[in-house]
Amino acid sequence: MPSSRIDKDFSRLIELIYRGALEQQPWQSALPALREAMDAQVVSLVLRPPTADDQGVILNSVRPDPSRNDGDASLADPNDWEASAYREQFFSLDPFVNLPPDKVIALEDILPDKELLNSDYYLHYLKPIGLFRILGVDTVEPGGMLARLRFSRRASEARFRARERTLLDLLAPHLRLAIEIYAKLNRMTSERDVYAGAVNQLSVASIILDERGRLLTTNAVGRALLDQGEGLSLREGRLHIEGRDIDKELQQALATIIKAQQQGETSLVRALRVPRPGGRSDLGLVIRPVPTSQWSEGQSSPSAAVFVSDPDLQESTSGQILGELFDLTPAEANLATLLARGLSLAEVSSAQNISQHTARAQLKSIFAKTGVSRQAELVRLVLKSVASLG
C-alpha cells in the first residue's frame, strides 16, 4: 500500500487506544486525542458503570477552556462535578445505556430532541453542564468487562455527522481488543498480588532472575535479606553467596537451570544451604526454573526462581484465624501458636504466666477440637494450616 494512502492521524488514534491499556492512568493519552478527533466537548470512558452501591470508574476528558491555561494532555479530575454528580445521582436517569454491543448510536436515535428537553436527565444533569448531543458505543470483552465510550457536544453545536459515526465505528473493534488486554492485565496483576502477598505472609523470600542470572524482581522478604547481606547478597545485579565453594555451587545450579530453559529441556530443582555468621541459622535455598510458554523470549524474561527460607524469621500464624479455623478460644489459639514456634509446654506456661496444669488442660481441649493426639501433630497442623495467611 502506498504510504500516501495511510491515514497517519487514524493510525495515531489506534496506537493511543492500545497504549491506554498499559498506562498507569488508563487511556490518559487516548481520550484527549479522541475528543479532539471527534470535535467533542467531553469524552467519557465508563469502565465500570455506577450502581447504587458502587460509584464505578469513569474517565473524562473535557475540551480546554481558552480563557484558562488548561492543557489537554491529561484526564479531568474524577471529583469534578460532571463526573461525581453523574456517579452519585444521575446514572439511574441516564437513558443512553445498554446499547447493542459495538454499534455506534447517537442519543437522538433513541430519544427525540423534544423528549430529551423534557426529561429529568437533561433538566438536572445535561443542561447545567451545557451538553446536549451524545454519540456513543458500548463494547464487552470476553471476560465480561463492559466499557462505554461517550462523546458529548453542547446544544449550540451541530449533531454528530456521518464522518464521526464512521470514525467511531472503525475505532470500536480496536477499543474492544484494548479493553480485553486491559482486563486481562488487571486480572493477572490481581492474581500476582494475591500470590505475592501469600508468599510474603509465609515469610519466604522469592527472587526472580533473568537468563543471565541478573535480578529481575524480589518480594519484600527477599529485599530485606539481600539488604542485610549476611550470607546472601547482590554483586553487579547477580545473586551471590558468601564463601567461594558454596557460591560456585549456586552459580553452577543457576547456569544449569537457565541453560535447560533456553534449550527447552527439563531441569531438576536444586537446593542449597547457606551458612550465616554470628550464630544465625542457615538459610535454605530452592532454585527452580520459571515456566515459560512456547513463544517466550529469553531477553529480560524470568528464567529462574530462587526461594529462600530464613528459620530466624518468626512465623506469622494468626491466632484469630487459627481460632476461627478450629473453634479455639483466644488462650488456646495463643498456646497452639507458641507451640508451633518451637516452645515447650513449660516455656509456654512461663511466657503466658499460667500454671502447667492450666496449659495441659488447654492443650487437651485443643487436641479434642483439632482431632490430633500428639503435640508434634498439632505443630504440623498449625504450620500447614492457612492461619499464616490471615
Q: Is 151:160 a contact under the CB 8 Å cutoff? A: yes
pLDDT in tens, 235-251: 988 999 988 899 999 99
Specify the pairing of strand 146-154 against strand 131-140: antiparallel
Distance separating alpha carbons of residues 248 and 340, to the nearest angstrom = 35
Q: Which position has the grid cell 481460632?
A: 323
Distance separating alpha carbons of residues 204 and 313, to the nearest angstrom = 9
Determine the residue type at 203: S
Instruction: Return the pLDDT at 317.
Output: 65
At 6, the pLDDT band (50, 70, 90 cuts) reads low
Instruction: Return the pLDDT at 318.
Output: 72
Instruction: Return the pLDDT at 72.
Output: 47
User: Percent of the chain beyond pLDDT 90?
Assistant: 32
Fold of 202-309: Beta-Lactamase (3.30.450)
The answer to pTM > 0.85 is no
At 69, the pLDDT band (50, 70, 90 cuts) reads low
Homologous superfamily of 3-187 in CATH? GAF domain (3.30.450.40)
Distance separating alpha carbons of residues 36 and 49, to the nearest angstrom = 24
Distance separating alpha carbons of residues 124 and 99, to the nearest angstrom = 23
Q: Is 49:56 a contact under the CB 8 Å cutoff? A: yes
pLDDT in tens, 129-138: 888 999 999 9
DSSP result, 206-261:
EEEE-TTSBEEEE-HHHHHHHHHTSSEEEETTEEEESSHHHHHHHHHHHHHHHHHH
Domain range 319-389, CATH architecture: Orthogonal Bundle (1.10)
> Quick check: do 3-187 and 202-309 share a fold?
yes
Instruction: Return the pLDDT at 96.
Output: 83
Query: What integer is the mean pLDDT of 182-211?
Result: 82
pLDDT in tens, 78-119: 556 455 555 555 566 678 888 899 999 999 999 999 999 998
pLDDT in tens, 301-326: 778 889 998 877 765 567 788 888 88
β-partners of residue 234 are 239
Distance separating alpha carbons of residues 116 and 126, to the nearest angstrom = 10
Domain ranges of the chain: 3-187, 202-309, 319-389
Range in 133-142, 271-280, 338-347, 381-390 the model is least confident about = 381-390
At 37, the pLDDT band (50, 70, 90 cuts) reads very high
pLDDT in tens, 322-347: 888 889 998 998 898 888 878 899 99
CA distances to 43, 130, 146, 319, 388 from 32, in Å: 8, 19, 21, 52, 47
Instruction: Let me know how many helices (H) and strands (E) the chain has, helices first.
Output: 14, 12
3-state secondary structure of 89: helix
**Left, alpha or beta for 384 (phi > 0: left; psi -120 to 50: alpha)?**
alpha
**Left, alpha or beta for 233 (phi > 0: left; psi -120 to 50: alpha)?**
beta
